[in-house]
Structure 1
Amino acid sequence: MLRPWQFEIQLDKNCDKPLYLQIADAIIQAVKSGKLSSGNALPGSRQLAGLFQVNRNTVIEALDVLIAEGWLITIDRKGTFVADVSPEMFTDKKNEPQTNTISKEIKPHLIFDDGLPDSSLAPMNDLARAYREIFNRKSRRQIMGYSSELGDIEFRKAIVQMLNFKRGMNVSPDQICITRGSQMAMYLAAHCLLSKDDFIMIENPGYKPAWEAFENAGAKLLPINVKSDGLDLGEVESYLKKHSNIKAIYVTPHHQFPTTVTMSLKKRLKLIELSNQYGFTIIEDDYDNEFHFGQRPILPISSYSKAKNFVYIGTLSKIVAPALRIGYLATSIENIEKIARHRKIIDVQGDNIMEEAILNLINEGKIKRHLKKTSLIYKAKRDYFESLCKLYLKDKIMLTKPEGGLAFWIVPKNEIDLQKVCNELLKKGIQIMSPEKFSFENPVSGLRLGYASLNEKQMEEGILALSKYL
């Protein structure tokens, strides 16, 4: 028997948020508050559509979002039910990946990077106009002096609005530090949280530039294997029981680097529980949140009210252009104060003029329109890249079409020396990231292939060449 629907949803048809997302968020809130419990059955989509007085397709879209995010499950011939999510969890409150080092002997004409955007799509005219407007102001002298080491306050307010509205977070401007790219944010977080001989858990395979920042702070790395739904939390618990001075864990839960897998809702909640129990900080690198082609991006771990110990790192460099170094981090005020003191040692302040220029583009809606345009382009490129893999590599590799990000992760079906494959391709002028670039010790059996910066002809040339060696 279906559970009676005992709470009302107030829909605002004049709101910018689509109706299906309003419904999805209301049901999520009902699960968090305990109004809906694990195993409760939902009424059918037709009945819900009648209750909410909306089109049935709107309800179906909302249910698809909730199923994709792990809040609901479907059982054949039985219906839709609330997933195994405990309401107690809610009672309380890369650097962009860099391209490979190019061989001095051979300059490649085609590079599969690790997921960089197409720089030719950067809104250069809009950015140039924003700079001109800044320098034409009568008050332009004011921006030529020193300012806060945490970044321009108006720019921080814009970041806060984006994080709170789009990513479900609850932060204030005094919890934000603007940095020169996300790698600086990683470095500051590392030196704020870690000391000599502390331990930090990392994903394996994972993002080595982050590991280097942690080691630079004196920390020791503890690798955790990545499964199809994210980190192996059994290994996490094992380390926590073995070591008393584990201070942090570094994760890329949205689109894991390099495998592109998304950490499941159940694992995200369990990781928060472990963080609160053992007192370690979750350093969350959400390096390409904006490029998501499914229903909507998965909400960050840092957005959950139960998460007490977090550092959330993001970037705007991929949105505008990799050469423009703008990253940010959000964390507790206590951590921000430590980060501010360390920031002043290495860099008195950020680039005020660039921050104002980007802020102009945000306020004028140029960034929003640019993202909408580029997301459609990258989605089309992703689909074409997948078609090439199916055409030339279907019997040779395993791959899952990523819901977001700008790269694919492919795993050969047969055991093969991937480093040798990379070397042979480089001789032909085609560069692919070596598996050693994201492996902790033994090279992982997989290749990360960025597609966004390539055109269709280049993609086909590269995949066809790769097929000959796999």
Structure 2
Amino acid sequence: MSSPILISLFGGIKLNPSSDRAIYLQLADMILALIKQGKLGSDQKLPSSRAVADLLSLNRLTVTKAYAELQMQGWLESFVGKGTFVSTHVPEIQPKQLKSTSTTKGQKQAGFALDSKSYRKNPFFVSTARLHLDHGYPDPTLAPLKELYRAYRTQLSCESRLYPRFGSYGQPDGADFYKEALSKYLNETRGLKTTHRNILSTRGTIMGINLVCSALIKPGDVVVSGIPGWQRLEHNFIHSWANHIGIPVDENGIVVDELRKICEKRKVRMVYITPHHHYPTTVSLSIDRRLELLALAKEFGFIIFEDDYDFDFHYNHRPLLPLISADDQGMVIYGGSFSKSISPAFRVGYLVAPENVIEHLSNTRMLLDRQGDHILDNAMAELLNDGTITRYLRKALAVYEKRRNHFCDLLRSELNNVVDFVVPEGGMTVWTTFDKSINLSELSTQAYEKNLYISDGLVHKYPDYDENAIRLGFASSTIEELSESVNILKSLIFKG
């Protein structure tokens, strides 16, 4: 290595043997940085691999692999008998002093424009608090995780079912074994009339909504839902450039009379509902309004998206069957998920619709996600077929009802003067309205400092709806944790 400039350049390379990144890749990164900075120009000959190895105290093979990596990327060219050169296709770059020459830190700002103003912010918060009165999550300690593990392991070893598809792609709408098991389960538990061709496997309700918006909603289409509602869902409408209109929700669910007024003036494309337990208020859509809604859909030709996120948890009496069970016109798309039954980390959901809709949604799904996890789907099918899910839900229902009763008793006895609520007939949360004197944002912050998570209520506020209310989830906490959580709230509210 005769050039003192090259000796200086390559001698300044610092490698980190304790890094997770291989040494030859680190070396390739450093050489690439020299090229991008203009310190190694187009068609410039590089030192031999032996010379670099001696200078940096490396194995020659390591340097050879680094050169080969950059050749594969098109940055270097190698000629037998001549050596290795910076590619002639690399433009001449005038060297300049960079603020940082480190290659270990990620970029903070893109070099291209982002139209972020066209999109709503979708913040998320992952709580690390020990206690939580969440938005309505199940208790994963009750879930049949051992059974799921065994079923998943069986799928991995059961070549008769998976082979030859195991080594290739499958159907975008889901594995037939899962869809057949799910069709049977939904027909038996919800009064549906489906075959496996009416089902599309998803990774949860939000994916199902996104698929429907992508495939069936055009810019300017009118989409209606209840207010207050689920803002993550509403942002999907906005993302599709739909015209979202909110209608009121009372003790009997969405006010269908208001929907009719809209339909008489404008062409409505889709109505989104959570009829079993409205999100976030937990009220059920009354039977007369269900029938009226189906009649309106038939009359005005709009889609009903029925999100039945917690059908399995109803305490006072048998739940009303889904709207889709009474739909003989093919107007309803039904969405469900096992994430709310077992765990949010368990991403298995589904859409139910007429066959031609499923085909259309499957075609759209190919652009987003070639297929779901067929192995997980089939493992879930095993639990549906052998009755594991039914037994688990029966056990969890009893536990959650006990927790609901205990939690509501605590709210009455400890916070009676500052909260108002109706004991929910089902679901996993209590829609709780706080006295106007209580600042929920401050209460949320103070509670988190005491290791308790509660919502600050901002996701439930709208320009024309400003109740001082939040969802307080009880299902994911033990009796002891619920008592401790309410005591913390009580100490913060009445500390004066």
Counterpart for residue 145 of structure 2: 124
Q: 2:185 touches 2:384 (CA, 8 Å); kept in 1?
A: no
Rounded to whole Å, the distance in 1 between the matches of 2:244 and 2:133 is 28
Q: Could you report, residue by residue, the CA deviation over 1:229-283 in whole angstroms, capped at 9, with x for unpaired residues? A: 1112232122223323x20111101011111100111111111111111111111
Counterpart for residue 376 of structure 2: 354
1:463 aligns with 2:486: yes
Amino acid at match of 1:130: A
Deviation of 1:165 after TM superposition, in Å, equals: 1.9
Q: 1:435 touches 1:443 (CA, 8 Å); kept in 2?
A: no
Q: 2:182 touches 2:384 (CA, 8 Å); kept in 1?
A: no
Consecutive unaligned residues of structure 2, counting only runs of 5 or more, are: 1-121
Q: Could you report, residue by residue, the CA deviation over 1:132-181 in whole angstroms, capped at 9, with x for unpaired residues? A: 22223243433412111111112111221122221122222211101111
Q: Secondary structure at the match of 1:159?
A: helix
Rounded to whole Å, the distance in 1 between the matches of 2:457 and 2:265 is 29
Tell me which of 234, 239, 258 is aligned to 1:235. Answer: 258
1:151 aligns with 2:178: no
Please list, as runs of the form range in 1=range in 2, the aligned pairs for 1:22-421 lying within 5 A after superposition. Answer: 101-102=125-126, 107-139=128-160, 140-144=162-166, 145-244=168-267, 246-306=268-328, 308-414=330-436, 416-421=438-443
Q: 2:460 touches 2:470 (CA, 8 Å); kept in 1?
A: no
Counterpart for residue 69 of structure 1: none
CA root-mean-square deviation: 2.1
Q: Secondary structure at the match of 1:437?
A: helix
Deviation of 1:99 after TM superposition, in Å, equals: 11
Consecutive unaligned residues of structure 1, counting only runs of 5 or more, are: 1-97
Deviation of 1:328 after TM superposition, in Å, equals: 0.4
CA gap 1:102/1:327 in 2 versus in 1, 3 angstroms: closer
Q: 1:283 touches 1:313 (CA, 8 Å); kept in 2?
A: yes
Deviation of 1:116 after TM superposition, in Å, equals: 0.6
Amino acid at match of 2:309: Y
Q: Could you report, residue by residue, the CA deviation over 1:355-383 in whole angstroms, capped at 9, with x for unpaired residues? A: 11111112221111111111111111111
Counterpart for residue 4 of structure 2: none
Q: Secondary structure at the match of 1:150?
A: coil
Q: Could you report, residue by residue, the CA deviation over 1:10-29 in whole angstroms, capped at 9, with x for unpaired residues? A: xxxxxxxxxxxxxxxxxxxx
Deviation of 1:449 after TM superposition, in Å, equals: 0.5
Q: 1:276 touches 1:308 (CA, 8 Å); kept in 2?
A: no
Q: Could you report, residue by residue, the CA deviation over 1:299-322 in whole angstroms, capped at 9, with x for unpaired residues? A: 111111355311100012233332
Counterpart for residue 446 of structure 1: 469
- Stretch of structure 1 that moved more, 128-137 or 291-300: 128-137
Q: Secondary structure at the match of 2:394?
A: helix
Q: Could you report, residue by residue, the CA deviation over 1:38-59 in whole angstroms, capped at 9, with x for unpaired residues? A: xxxxxxxxxxxxxxxxxxxxxx
Alignment TM-score, normalising by the size of structure 2: 0.70
Q: 1:206 touches 1:439 (CA, 8 Å); kept in 2?
A: no
Pair member with larger Rg: 2
CA gap 1:466/1:123 in 2 versus in 1, 3 angstroms: same
Q: Secondary structure at the match of 1:319?
A: coil
CA gap 1:260/1:372 in 2 versus in 1, 3 angstroms: same
Rounded to whole Å, the distance in 1 between the matches of 2:216 and 2:255 is 23
Rounded to whole Å, the distance in 2 between the matches of 1:436 and 1:307 is 38
Deviation of 1:119 after TM superposition, in Å, equals: 1.4
Q: 1:150 touches 1:349 (CA, 8 Å); kept in 2?
A: yes
Amino acid at match of 2:442: K
- Stretch of structure 1 that moved more, 431-440 or 359-368: 431-440
Rounded to whole Å, the distance in 2 between the matches of 1:330 and 1:319 is 18
Matched residues, number? 369
Q: Secondary structure at the match of 1:342?
A: helix
Q: Once the two structures are aligned, what percentage of the paired residues are identical?
A: 31
Rounded to whole Å, the distance in 2 between the matches of 1:415 and 1:267 is 35
Counterpart for residue 3 of structure 2: none
Deviation of 1:342 after TM superposition, in Å, equals: 0.4
Counterpart for residue 75 of structure 2: none
Rounded to whole Å, the distance in 2 between the matches of 1:373 and 1:172 is 28
Rounded to whole Å, the distance in 1 between the matches of 2:164 and 2:343 is 26
Q: Could you report, residue by residue, the CA deviation over 1:65-116 in whole angstroms, capped at 9, with x for unpaired residues? A: xxxxxxxxxxxxxxxxxxxxxxxxxxxxxxxxx996148xxx5332221111
